[in-house]
Chain A
Amino acid sequence: MAAGKKKHWYDYLWIWTIVYFALGFFNILFAWLGMIDFILPLIFAIAGGNKWFCNHMCGRGQLFWVLGRNLKCSRRKPAPKWLSSTWFRYGFLTFFMTMFGTMIFQTYLVFSGAGSLRKAIKLFWTFRVPWKWAYNGSVFPDWVAQFGFGFYSLMLTSTLIGLIVMALYKERTWCTFCPMGTMTQGICRIKSKKGN
């Protein structure tokens, strides 16, 4: 952030990212709150035709900035060009949506009774990490918790990828291939071409 600029409440949303992961550590049902970060950018893009969420409100992007720039955890070197190329961005979006779909299917299996609730987090879509302390039953059916575990896995994995590229390259390198960013920019481009 440039010095001397007026600070807004939404400049501190990086705290939200930390709070989100902390809450999910203790109770996985809080993972559902991450849906805000999925729905809000889409509302901005579809209704407003802008990326105001990415530009001003993204807690994750702000966290990378705070850690990378303010706390000097980034090499601040240019990232390879392919990371921000169209094919990689849309390829990553496709991969991400496929994994999101798989997660929804897992939730459905628990919902239908064909599968049982697994109290674990999957990192990088590969490594299973026990997370059983985060859920001890609730008034909600099991599938609600299953979605929580799946969604938290997705959020944590993508944040970890973001932290890795933050350390290696520029602070907000994640933003160049963030699936939400790609999606909202795509929507904005279509909207601006239509002329409204």
Chain B
Amino acid sequence: MRRASNDTKRCVACGVCALTCPREAISIFKGCYAVVDESKCVGCGLCEKACPAGTIRVMEVQDGSR
């Protein structure tokens, strides 16, 4: 299944992804980086298009978190 995944090391925690997410699946963890709730994410890619640092990407992830 395709889900948004974030490179937390390079993430700038600006929060644009969280603002654009229509499912409210993204939150900013303690002001450090964005975290994707894979049970809510539908892999639409709106966050990827908005991310100014290019750290959040929709990719194939292993099912099992549901």
| Chains A and B form a bound pair | yes
Q: Which residues of A contact B (CB under 8 A)?
A: 1-5, 44-45, 49-52, 54-56, 61, 65, 69, 76, 78-79, 81, 84-85, 89, 169-176, 178, 181-182, 184-185, 187-189, 191-192
| Chain B, Cβ-Cβ closest to A169 | B52
Give every chain B residue within 8 A of A54 (Cβ-Cβ): 13-15
Give every chain B residue within 8 A of A184 (Cβ-Cβ): 31
A1-B19, A51-B13, A54-B13 known; A172 vs B52 contact (CB < 8 Å): yes
Of A50, A85, A89, A182, most buried by chain B (CB within 10 Å of CB) is: A50
- The reply to whether A76 and B12 form a contact with Cβ atoms under 8 Å apart is no
A55-B14, A84-B12, A176-B14 known; A185 vs B31 contact (CB < 8 Å): yes
* A–B pairs, 19, beta carbons within 8 Å: A2-B20, A2-B22, A51-B13, A51-B15, A51-B31, A52-B31, A54-B15, A55-B19, A55-B28, A172-B14, A172-B50, A172-B52, A173-B52, A175-B16, A182-B12, A184-B31, A185-B13, A192-B29, A192-B31
- The reply to whether A170 and B50 form a contact with Cβ atoms under 8 Å apart is yes
Q: Other than A1-B20, A3-B22, give 9 A-B pairs with Cβ distance below 8 A.
A: A44-B31, A55-B13, A69-B50, A84-B52, A84-B55, A170-B50, A191-B30, A192-B30, A192-B31
| Chain B, Cβ-Cβ closest to A61 | B14
Is B46 an interface residue when CB atoms closer than 8 A count as contact? yes
Q: How far is the CB of B61 from chain A (nearest CB, A)?
A: 22
Interface size class of B (residues with CB under 8 A): 20 to 34
- In the complex the two chains form, what is the Cα distance from A170 to B12 in whole Å? 14
Give every chain A residue within 8 A of B15 (Cβ-Cβ): 51, 54-56
Give every chain B residue within 8 A of A69 (Cβ-Cβ): 50
Interface of A is mostly: helix
Give every chain B residue within 8 A of A79 (Cβ-Cβ): 52-54
Q: Which residues of B contact A (CB under 8 A)?
A: 10, 12-16, 18-22, 24, 28-32, 46, 49-55
Give every chain B residue within 8 A of A78 (Cβ-Cβ): 54
Q: How far is the CB of A60 from chain B (nearest CB, A)?
A: 11
A51-B31, A79-B52 known; A188 vs B13 contact (CB < 8 Å): yes
| Chain A, Cβ-Cβ closest to B10 | A84
A2-B19, A2-B22 known; A175 vs B52 contact (CB < 8 Å): yes
